[in-house]
Amino acid sequence: MPINPTPEEARSSLEAAAQAQAGLRQSTSPPRLQLALASAGAGIVVASRGIPDPLAWLRWVIIAIVVIALLALILANPSKRAVKRGLKHEARDLRYSVAALIAPVVFVMGVLVALELIASSAAQGAPWWAFGIGGLAVAAVFYPLGRWNWRILGKPRDPEV
Amino acid sequence: MAAPKFNDQIHSPVRLRICSTLAAVDAIDFTALRAGLDVTDSVLSKHLARLEAVGFVSITKKTAPGHLRTWVSLTPVGRQVLAGHLAALREIAAQSGM
């Protein structure tokens, strides 16, 4: 017997479908704070390379602060849920957190490494084809890492249901 | 934009939520899907089996260190059918003039 939903039923079905996707995004998207911290951390580390030699220790302080903050975020995030869900789920949550954290870092670092390679190669008068080889080398390293992250997180697709 | 076409197989509330969730990702771990939908193993397995039988989802089992992991994804056909079904639902919902 064919199903003939009423407009109200159709509307509630659409809402349920949208909520299912929203719930997935909420559980798999990298937390904004982590993403912001990771990006800022990568930026600070790179920027700190311009610090003059007498203040070189400052670079390590900045790196230490960023690393400690990121580790604290990784460890704090799953432990709240772990109490409710049990230890079995903690591993999955931890994996999600690590993947959520690594994804933006991998992306930012990949871009920075590529830019730095291009800048240094250009400064040394590298031929044009060297940029292509450099780009491929960077992609060969960072693409699998990115895929690994998205595989765990669930790669986002069409934003519309 | 897919042509509106109502699909009885997808219209079941759980199956619609499964397909909507899968539409947002390439593939998702069975455990993560179950947690996201808040259903039991048996309910999810039953509905996935039904969707797999009609070719809307594909289920692959891969070995991870120490255990077998089940990955679920929407097939291209399933993605198309879901888009058509949602378009049909939007048309029906619009009939009330709201």
Complex ipTM above 0.85?
A: no
Residues 6+ apart with CB under 8 A from A119: none
Nearest-CB residue to B92 (from A5, A151, A155) = A5
Higher pLDDT, A54 or A90: A54
Partnered with residue B63 across adjacent β-strands are B68
Instruction: Give first-to-last CA distance, chain B, whole Å.
Output: 22
Q: Is the pLDDT of residue B97 over 90?
A: no
Q: What pLDDT digit, counting tens, does each position of A103-128 carry?
A: 556 566 666 666 666 666 667 676 66
Q: What is the CATH number of the domain that holds B59?
A: 1.10.10.10
Per DSSP, B22 falls in state H
Residue B31 belongs to domain spanning = 8-88
Closest to B64 (Cα-Cα) out of A74, A24, A92, A100: A92
CA dihedral A141, A145, A147, A149 (to 10 degrees): -170
Put simply, the answer to whether B16 touches A16 (Cβ < 8 Å) is yes
The per-residue pLDDT for A83 is: 38
Q: What pLDDT digit, counting tens, does each position of B1-43 carry?
A: 678 888 888 888 899 999 998 888 777 888 878 877 888 889 9
Question: Do A44 and A62 contact (CB within 8 A), yes or no?
Answer: yes
Put simply, the answer to whether A154 touches B28 (Cβ < 8 Å) is yes
Put simply, the answer to whether A13 touches B16 (Cβ < 8 Å) is yes
